[in-house]
Structure 1
Amino acid sequence: MNIGLKLVTCIRYDTSKYFVRGTCKIAVELDPILVAKIEKAELKPRHHPGIIKVGPIELPINLRHALERVIGDYPIKSILKDCQQLNQYIKARHPPIEQLEYNKKIKSVMEEVNRRMPLEELSFLGEEEGLQWRRKRDNLIKRFMAYRTYAWKPIEYGPYESLVYAIGRGAKEYGVLTNILQELRQRDKEFQPRSYFDFGSGVGTGMWAASNLWRDSIFEYYNVDSSRSMNDLSELILREGHANQQMILRNVYHRQFLPAIETMYDLVVSSYTLFELPNAESRKEVLLNLWKKCCGYLVIVEEGTRRGSELVNEVRDYVLQLESNDLKGEILAPCPHNLTCPRLTNETDRTPCNFQAAYAPLRVGDVKDERHTTLYSYIVLKKGKLSDATREWPRIVRPTLNRSKHVICRMCTVDAKLQEVIFTQSKHGRDAYRCAKASNWGDRLPVTLGGEIPTIRKTFKRKENLMNEQIYSLK
Structure 2
Amino acid sequence: MFRKLKLSQISLYYNSYSTRVALDASLKESFESKQFKPRKHPGTTRVKIASIPPDIQKAIKIILEDNKAKALQEDSLKLNNYLRSRLLPPEDGDIDLKAQKIYDKIEKKTFEKVNTAAAELTPDQLEKYNQKVKSKVFNILKTNVYRWGNISYDKATSLQYLMVRAAPEYAILVRILDEIDKKYPDYKPRSFFDFGSGVGTGTWAVNTYWKGDIFEYFCVDTSVHMNDLARLILCHGKDNIEMPLRGFFQRQFLPASSDMKYSIVLSAFSLFEMPNMKSRLETIQKLWSKTEDYLIIVEQGTNAGFKIVNEAREFVLNLSKGKNNGYAFSPCPNDNVCPRYLEQETPCNFLMKYESLQYPSKAEIHADVFSYVILKKGERPSDDPQWPRIVRAPIVRSGHTICRLCTAQGDLKEIIFSKGKYDQATYRCARSSNWGDVLPVK
Q: Residues of 2 paired with 1:324 and 1:410: CA distance?
A: 32
Match of 2:353, SS state, is: strand
Q: Residues of 2 paired with 1:387 and 1:231: CA distance?
A: 38
Aligned to 2:381: 387
Contact 1:332 1:391 in 2 (8 A): no
- The one-letter code of the counterpart of 1:338 is D
Aligned to 1:465: none
Aligned to 1:462: none
- Please state if 1:342 is matched with 2:318: no
How large is the RMSD of aligned CA atoms in angstroms?
Answer: 2.2
- Please state if 1:359 is matched with 2:359: no
Contact 1:199 1:269 in 2 (8 A): yes
1:371-396 superposed Cα distances (whole Å, 9 cap, x missing partner): 11000000000011233834410000
| CA apart distance, 1:73 | 4.8
| CA apart distance, 1:209 | 0.1
1:112-147 superposed Cα distances (whole Å, 9 cap, x missing partner): 2212334949946979x976x666544312121122
Aligned to 2:4: none
Aligned to 1:406: 400
Contact 1:409 1:421 in 2 (8 A): yes
Aligned to 2:245: 249
1:66-103 superposed Cα distances (whole Å, 9 cap, x missing partner): 11111135454432212211111111111111122122
Aligned to 2:368: 374
- Please state if 1:26 is matched with 2:55: no
Alignment of 1:27-426 (within 5 A): 27-118=20-111, 120=118, 123=121, 136-259=132-255, 260-346=257-343, 349-366=344-361, 368-387=362-381, 389-426=383-420
Q: Residues of 1 paired with 2:253 and 2:157: CA distance?
A: 20
- The one-letter code of the counterpart of 1:360 is E
Q: 1:248 to 1:426 in 2, by over 3 A?
A: farther
Match of 2:341, SS state, is: coil
Q: Residues of 2 paired with 1:122 and 1:66: CA distance?
A: 75
1:412-438 superposed Cα distances (whole Å, 9 cap, x missing partner): 011111111111222110000111111
Q: 1:321 to 1:228 in 2, by over 3 A?
A: same
Q: What TM-score, normalized to structure 1?
A: 0.84
Aligned to 2:428: 434
After superposing the two structures, state which structure 1 stretch, 97-106 or 190-199, moved more.
97-106
Aligned to 1:13: none
Aligned to 1:471: none
- The one-letter code of the counterpart of 1:95 is L
Aligned to 2:8: none
Contact 2:107 2:133 in 1 (8 A): no
Structure with greater proportional strand content: 1
Q: 1:277 to 1:391 in 2, by over 3 A?
A: farther
1:48-77 superposed Cα distances (whole Å, 9 cap, x missing partner): 110124221000011111111111354544
Q: Residues of 1 paired with 2:200 and 2:285: CA distance?
A: 22
1:2-54 superposed Cα distances (whole Å, 9 cap, x missing partner): xxxxxxxxxxxxxxxxxxx9983632221223210111122211111101242
After superposing the two structures, state which structure 1 stretch, 39-48 or 376-385, moved more.
39-48
1:170-224 superposed Cα distances (whole Å, 9 cap, x missing partner): 0110000000000111112232100000111111111110011111111110000
Gaps of 5+ in 1: 1-20, 449-475
Gaps of 5+ in 2: 1-12, 112-116
Contact 2:103 2:134 in 1 (8 A): no
Q: Residues of 2 paired with 1:38 and 1:179: CA distance?
A: 25
Contact 2:69 2:159 in 1 (8 A): no
Q: Residues of 1 paired with 2:326 and 2:17: CA distance?
A: 37
After superposing the two structures, state which structure 1 stretch, 46-55 or 25-34, moved more.
25-34
Contact 1:304 1:353 in 2 (8 A): yes
Q: Residues of 1 paired with 2:66 and 2:140: CA distance?
A: 45
Asked which structure has the greater CA Rg, the reply is 1
Aligned to 1:7: none
Q: Residues of 2 paired with 1:176 and 1:391: CA distance?
A: 25
- The one-letter code of the counterpart of 2:265 is V
Match of 2:285, SS state, is: helix
- The one-letter code of the counterpart of 1:41 is K
Structure with greater proportional helix content: 2
Q: 1:204 to 1:130 in 2, by over 3 A?
A: same
Q: Residues of 2 paired with 1:221 and 1:140: CA distance?
A: 53
User: Greater relative contact order: 1 or 2 (C-alpha under 8 angstroms, separation 6 or more)?
Assistant: 1
Q: Percent identity?
A: 39
Contact 1:236 1:242 in 2 (8 A): yes
Q: Residues of 1 paired with 2:285 and 2:420: CA distance?
A: 50
Q: Residues of 2 paired with 1:403 and 1:52: CA distance?
A: 22
Match of 1:427, SS state, is: coil
Q: 1:190 to 1:110 in 2, by over 3 A?
A: same
Q: 1:130 to 1:381 in 2, by over 3 A?
A: closer
Q: Residues of 2 paired with 1:445 and 1:130: CA distance?
A: 66
Contact 1:267 1:298 in 2 (8 A): yes
Contact 2:24 2:441 in 1 (8 A): yes
Q: Residues of 2 paired with 1:251 and 1:121: CA distance?
A: 73
